[in-house]
Copies of this chain bind each other. A is one copy, B any other.
Amino acid sequence: MELVTQALAANRYALARLISLVEDDGTQARAALAALYPHTGQAHVVGVTGAPGTGKSTLVNELAKSLRARGTTVGVVAVDPSSPFTGGALLGDRLRMRDLAGDPGVFIRSMASRGSLGGLARTTNDVVKVLDAAGFAVVLVETIGAGQAEVDIARTAHTTIVVEAPGLGDEVQALKAGLMEIADVLVVNKADRPGAAQTARALEMVMGRNAPAGEAGEPAWRPPILQTVALDGTGVAEVLQAVGAHREHLRASGLWARREQARVETELLNVLREELLGRLLARVDREQIQGWVERIAAREVDAYTAVRSIFLDADERG
């Protein structure tokens, strides 16, 4: 496919078109993804997640700039609907983003639309694959850090940065949102504000209490707790250093391969699920489904019993 060849060469127009194709998820998209797939597996996928108001979009922007300054190519996938990358931004944010505009070593894609349940994770996963195959060395995936689908997306990254900020009301937001367990690097952003040191101490206490045991013979990774002021770039170099160190840890410990396998297994089961539904719906007629919907809505039968009946019918028809 011409489009795939061009996307593999990181042609921006081809990339944009291919990603739109992947988002629409047709037969063409699947063929393209199959062709791209052998070229994937090189990028370091870094999730950046945190509550609204932590300034994680600004941090993502600074991380991208810093990586570019070192000559590293960067893809950005913004899943957070409040991110400036997805259009929910104030004017100031948009102006900051201009730093990255026009640089061929950066590609930014927003995933603003809400599809069906579970669709967001699949699409994000596929868009990351496109950028990976196109040769972007680091792919930053920004998620809102609240919400099951979003946390599941962060979980599939090689390295997950959880962003916190002082003064967001109730203590440590990441703790409350259940993000601590997926954090590989913890960042207290807006560290020039009052309360930053306390927020960092609160994180240390929590992490200290839950110190990882380290699996048989492996050195355990202790998530570092770093402070940044993303607005002026303070501390961003240290975050990148920690991200690099985590990558080395993953490689040396064999965790990289294990995380990859876990991600692949989840993806395989999701594709199986969607494919099965598609195949069944192709065999069962739409009116029959509508008939079941009406009977369930009327409380004549429940959904589980209806599904058993639909299977019996479909099995009989072969």
List residues of chain A with CB under 8 Å of any chain B CB.
Answer: 30, 33-34, 37-38, 40-41, 51-53, 81-82, 88, 90, 114-115, 117-118, 120-121, 144, 146-152, 168-171, 173, 176-178, 257, 260-261, 264-277, 279-280, 289, 292-294, 296-297, 299-308, 310-311
Q: How far apart sit A144 and B177, CA to CA, in the bound complex (Å)?
A: 10
Residues of B within 8 Å of A270, CB to CB, are: 117
CB of B303 within 8 A of CB of A268, answer yes
Q: Which residue of B lies closest to A305 (CB)?
A: B34
CB of A53 within 8 A of CB of B168, answer yes
If over half of A's interface residues share one DSSP class (helix, strand or loop), that class is named, otherwise mixed; here it is helix
Residues of B within 8 Å of A81, CB to CB, are: 176-178
Q: Which residue of B lies closest to A146 (CB)?
A: B146
- Which one, B34, B53, B88, contacts A304 given CB within 8 A? B34
CB of B33 within 8 A of CB of A304, answer yes
- Which one, B177, B273, B292, B293, contacts A276 given CB within 8 A? B273
CB of B272 within 8 A of CB of A277, answer yes
Q: How far apart sit A82 and B52, CA to CA, in the bound complex (Å)?
A: 14
Q: How far apart sit A217 and B41, CA to CA, in the bound complex (Å)?
A: 56
Residues of B within 8 Å of A272, CB to CB, are: 277, 280, 307, 310
CB of A268 within 8 A of CB of B90, answer no
Nearest CB of chain B from residue A29's CB, rounded to whole Å: 9
CB of B144 within 8 A of CB of A146, answer yes
Residues of B within 8 Å of A34, CB to CB, are: 302, 304-305
CB of A117 within 8 A of CB of B152, answer yes
- Which one, B37, B118, B302, contacts A302 given CB within 8 A? B37
Nearest CB of chain B from residue A210's CB, rounded to whole Å: 16
CB of B267 within 8 A of CB of A273, answer no
Residues of B within 8 Å of A273, CB to CB, are: 273-274, 276-277
- Which one, B147, B173, B264, B310, contacts A147 given CB within 8 A? B147
